[in-house]
Amino acid sequence: MSSPSTATPASAAQKIIPTSSQNLLNDKWDVVLSNALIKTGLGFGGGVLVSILFFKRRAFPVWLGIGFGLGRGYAEGDAIFRSTAGLRTVKA
């Protein structure tokens, strides 16, 4: 049997965990990037739909929708990073 004072490399690797501030920052970045990607995709889809239905397939509604999506994603990301609280949780 090995004594409790000797640590194997596998057990030493398991003990190394990032601090809670690193976890919080990583979680915030995950939420911000996925949120911006979703908002941009929705803006793109809405722009394509408006372009097809109302503007005879011109490009400016698509770019406008992408711009609105990116802007909304940026605004929500800024609010998430400025918040002193943790991440909001939404129960699905």
> What's the pTM value of the predicted model, to 2 decimals?
0.65
Q: How many domains does the chain divide into?
A: 1
Q: What is the pLDDT of residues 24-53, one digit of tens each?
A: 778 888 889 999 999 999 999 999 999 999
Answer positive or negative: Cα dihedral of 83, 81, 34, 71: positive
**Is 42 inside a domain boundary?**
yes
- Predicted pLDDT at 57: 86
**Is 90 inside a domain boundary?**
no
The CA distances from residue 50 to 3, 36, 73, 76, in Å, are: 71, 21, 21, 24
What residue numbers bound the domain in which 47 lies? 20-82
- 43 with 74: CB under 8 angstroms? no
- 43 with 67: CB under 8 angstroms? yes
Q: What is the pLDDT of residues 19-30, one digit of tens each?
A: 577 777 788 888
- 32 with 76: CB under 8 angstroms? yes
